[in-house]
Amino acid sequence: MPNRFAQGKKAFGFCSICGQRADLSKLKPQIIKQKVTNSLRCSECLDEDQPQLMLGTFPIDDPQALRNPRPDPALAASRQIPDNGKTLSDLFIPPLE
């Protein structure tokens, strides 16, 4: 099957961003969210595909809550200072005036 397009070994094009002339084979398409756009860019204007734009693309299962947790029952007692009965937050957080 014959190719409908010429090879374009000596063809040149212009960057879609800066407009500089470059070999057509050196202009690369800009990829955004893993999709090729119609923008051909020179090496200086070509941006890497930003991984932060791919949020929601891949399923991520990272639950934070625990089923049937068992908190420390002595937590409140461990934060008491035996001398005067004040808690640590009483010592370090100034009272409201």
Cβ at position 16, least distance to Zn ion in Å:
7
Residues in Cβ contact with 33 at an 8 Å cutoff, skipping those fewer than 6 apart: 49, 53, 54, 57
d(CA 20, CA 41): 9
| Helix intervals (H) in the chain | 75-78, 88-92
Interface residues with Zn ion (CB under 5 A)? 15, 17-18, 42, 45
Cβ at position 21, least distance to Zn ion in Å:
10
* Minimum CB distance to Zn ion smaller for 26 or for 33: 26
18 and 44 Cβ atoms separated by less than 8 Å: yes
* Minimum CB distance to Zn ion smaller for 19 or for 69: 19
* Minimum CB distance to Zn ion smaller for 24 or for 90: 24
* Minimum CB distance to Zn ion smaller for 43 or for 50: 43
Cβ at position 52, least distance to Zn ion in Å:
23
Beta-ladder partners of 32: 35
Cβ at position 6, least distance to Zn ion in Å:
24
